[in-house]
Structure 1
């Protein structure tokens, strides 16, 4: 489970930027949180809003860049331990609107949790070469973290666990040490980190071809779940099959006494989007994976988007700590009946043309109080009160805080 992600000098982000999945001390929707003894509660969902060009997608790309930098060498050599779902290589591109940043490394820091341990991993990349890398872990509830390895340039320092394994420290400058270890050794601590990175699902619906890439399962239980969900969402489908000869998915509907099949390509855009995304979400919920989706709301009715969000917020459905991080423009879902204040994030450009992010919970009113949990989030956002949509802010007048 993702706890926190920080990065700097990546695309439109120049300064260190931190995104947090750790729950704040707010009372709303407490029963939706991912909880565990002796550690902080985590959010099951976070949505990122903001204007076009504000940095929403780049936030997700930064996380995708770190994940793919670790996973791609492993996958290329077919050494992955978990099946990858829709990951793709994202290069670490620095901030380019000043003469200094282009010569500095892009830095990533990630804090995530497994069943028994909390891991902190740091990676710095400069012109496709690894300039620094660190991995530490701590037993959940423990006080002192264990140093797994530290890398600075060509020098690699090993912690006690790796010293016992007699591992090689002479590696390619472009290869993360964590990836090298995963490829060449069978070390439990490394395998656990590897599997976490490999479990992450990355999807971008800013790319129209994404809806044509479908996961099809013949497993009876999975198929049954997909069909039940489609019907719950108002898509009347009795069955589906994939025709190998035609390389086409067909959906079956029973109308009257007859069965009819319709090619997937003939379905509505909303139906195609649902059929493309539901199998991915089901896998995430069944296996406790992190799902990262750009423009999740594209072509989805707001009620369908709410349904998807509610699956992750429902502890009876989300039993294994799956998490959903997505970008959205859908104001109909920015409601206090849908989200906690710390589940809503904004991305926007500052005066230096660099992106920044902040959560709704962090925003202070003029009286220095936080935004009320009962406030009309969508209305106040459209009025420009949250500072993440300068276009609308100049068009709409403000009002009193509620």
Structure 2
């Protein structure tokens, strides 16, 4: 499971920002999962984090930074070249940022309960720093530490890591040691590489929808259990759907028609006749089930962009229900709709430690912080407080301001035209 993620100098994330799944000490966290650690202790971890904020406040850049870290780990050895430099998207509103490093660090727990901390700093043309720490007995073990400014770039304290000399000699200045090791099938480091390969999956409801529709359709064809789960998720969304028909076309691609119930009769609709919302929900089911089946970390940008808030809330509930999510899959999503902060009958869908907000400072840099920092009371309505601006993270626009500004602009333009 992912515990924490730190980043700096990526798009609008100028200063170091941290996103944490660990339940704050002062918060009970009804939705939290107790994660057994290798030292015999347990850590309380949330399965879901939601990132909210005004338009252009940097919500999507949090997701992007996680994707960028994964891409770097998977591709630095094969894709990064000396003549192109290291691909970065540093903060653009400060010229000094180009000369500074880009930081990524992730804390996560593997299946054996051992906690790991892996991170790196990227310069324009070389990896400036890279490190890997393990906590098998609760105390930090340094597996390797890399600093490009030192005469001896790589340091391997102790004898924990195999092939240390070979790894140091064969790792290019513009590639990550972890990527280099995994490409050679290193027995100790490849499982850590595989963690990134099998996690931080990106889903944006409005993009790649056809591919995800096809994947969900494929799940219908796998076996009876898989089909039952897909159809149940279609029914639970209250779309009036009672089932699905699926067959392969002449090219072997699955074709789906959904069965709708109404007035005591069933009607089968062609796929093109389905609404945008229905198709978006169907396309999301496949990745959701894959994440739940494997215990992966799923990244969904703008969860509410093409889904009704009720569907978005159901996605959150899937990850928060231990009987549905026994393998500890996690969800990080961004959204605009504040109704996700409250369940219809009252109460909270997300705890304060699960609700993160983004806000731009005067220099255009994004600040990321949890609502738990504001210490809301147990019975406080988080949606009402958020909309009132009690936590920040909402547009600084008063009622009617946009219209008044537009009217003022039109009047100014008319006066200028008269003067001409």
TM range (shorter): 0.7 to 0.9
Question: Aligned in 2, Cα 1:149/1:28: closer, same or farther, shift over 3 Å?
Answer: closer
TM-score normalised by the chain length of structure 2:
0.81
The separation in 1 between residues aligned to 2:203 and 2:396, in whole angstroms, is 25
Q: Deviations over 1:134-153 (max 9, x none)?
A: 111111xx133222222222
2:371 to 346, 356, 360: 360
Q: Deviations over 1:160-212 (max 9, x none)?
A: 2324576332223332110110011331x312211210111433427x33322
The separation in 1 between residues aligned to 2:296 and 2:326, in whole angstroms, is 11
Is 1:330–2:334 an aligned residue pair? no
Match of 1:85 in 2: none
The separation in 2 between residues aligned to 1:346 and 1:251, in whole angstroms, is 40
Task: Point out the more displaced range, 62-71 or 21-30.
Answer: 21-30
Is 1:283–2:290 an aligned residue pair? yes
Q: Secondary structure at the match of 1:68?
A: helix
Q: Deviations over 1:328-353 (max 9, x none)?
A: 01111112421111000000101221
The separation in 2 between residues aligned to 1:10 and 1:164, in whole angstroms, is 33
Is 1:224–2:224 an aligned residue pair? no
Question: How far 1:97 sits from its partner (Å)?
Answer: 1.6
Is 1:182–2:185 an aligned residue pair? no
The separation in 2 between residues aligned to 1:245 and 1:325, in whole angstroms, is 38
The separation in 1 between residues aligned to 2:165 and 2:9, in whole angstroms, is 35
Question: Aligned in 2, Cα 1:74/1:212: closer, same or farther, shift over 3 Å?
Answer: farther
TM-score normalised by the chain length of structure 1:
0.85
- Is the Cα–Cα contact under 8 Å of residues 167 and 177 in structure 2 kept in the other structure? no
Question: How far 1:92 sits from its partner (Å)?
Answer: 2.8
Q: Secondary structure at the match of 1:40?
A: strand
CA RMSD of aligned residues (A): 2.5
Task: Point out the more displaced range, 292-301 or 154-163.
Answer: 154-163
- Is the Cα–Cα contact under 8 Å of residues 240 and 250 in structure 1 kept in the other structure? yes
Q: Deviations over 1:65-103 (max 9, x none)?
A: 101110235798xxxxxxxxxxxxx95311122221111
Aligned 1:293-332 pairs, distance under 5 A = 293-332=300-339
The separation in 2 between residues aligned to 1:114 and 1:241, in whole angstroms, is 38
Is 1:42–2:45 an aligned residue pair? yes
The separation in 2 between residues aligned to 1:66 and 1:242, in whole angstroms, is 39
Question: Aligned in 2, Cα 1:171/1:234: closer, same or farther, shift over 3 Å?
Answer: same
The separation in 1 between residues aligned to 2:78 and 2:277, in whole angstroms, is 32
- Is the Cα–Cα contact under 8 Å of residues 117 and 134 in structure 2 kept in the other structure? yes
Q: Secondary structure at the match of 1:57?
A: helix
2:118 to 100, 117, 121: 121
The separation in 2 between residues aligned to 1:239 and 1:74, in whole angstroms, is 44
Question: Aligned in 2, Cα 1:254/1:321: closer, same or farther, shift over 3 Å?
Answer: closer
- Is the Cα–Cα contact under 8 Å of residues 340 and 373 in structure 1 kept in the other structure? no
Unpaired segments ≥5 residues, structure 1: 77-89, 364-369, 397-402
Question: Aligned in 2, Cα 1:73/1:262: closer, same or farther, shift over 3 Å?
Answer: farther
Task: Point out the more displaced range, 177-186 or 24-33.
Answer: 24-33
Question: Aligned in 2, Cα 1:201/1:99: closer, same or farther, shift over 3 Å?
Answer: closer
Question: Aligned in 2, Cα 1:91/1:270: closer, same or farther, shift over 3 Å?
Answer: farther
The separation in 2 between residues aligned to 1:17 and 1:66, in whole angstroms, is 14
- Is the Cα–Cα contact under 8 Å of residues 23 and 32 in structure 2 kept in the other structure? no
Task: Point out the more displaced range, 163-172 or 334-343.
Answer: 163-172
Aligned 1:19-58 pairs, distance under 5 A = 19-27=19-27, 29-30=29-30, 32-36=32-36, 38-58=41-61
Is 1:343–2:339 an aligned residue pair? no
Question: How far 1:371 sits from its partner (Å)?
Answer: 1.3
Aligned length: 371
Task: Point out the more displaced range, 377-386 or 14-23.
Answer: 377-386
The separation in 1 between residues aligned to 2:76 and 2:242, in whole angstroms, is 40
Match of 1:241 in 2: 246
Q: Secondary structure at the match of 1:181?
A: helix
Is 1:71–2:77 an aligned residue pair? no
Match of 2:382 in 1: 377
Is 1:133–2:133 an aligned residue pair? no
Is 1:391–2:396 an aligned residue pair? yes
Task: Point out the more displaced range, 334-343 or 233-242.
Answer: 233-242
Q: Secondary structure at the match of 2:116?
A: strand
Q: Deviations over 1:252-288 (max 9, x none)?
A: 427678773512x432111111111111111111111
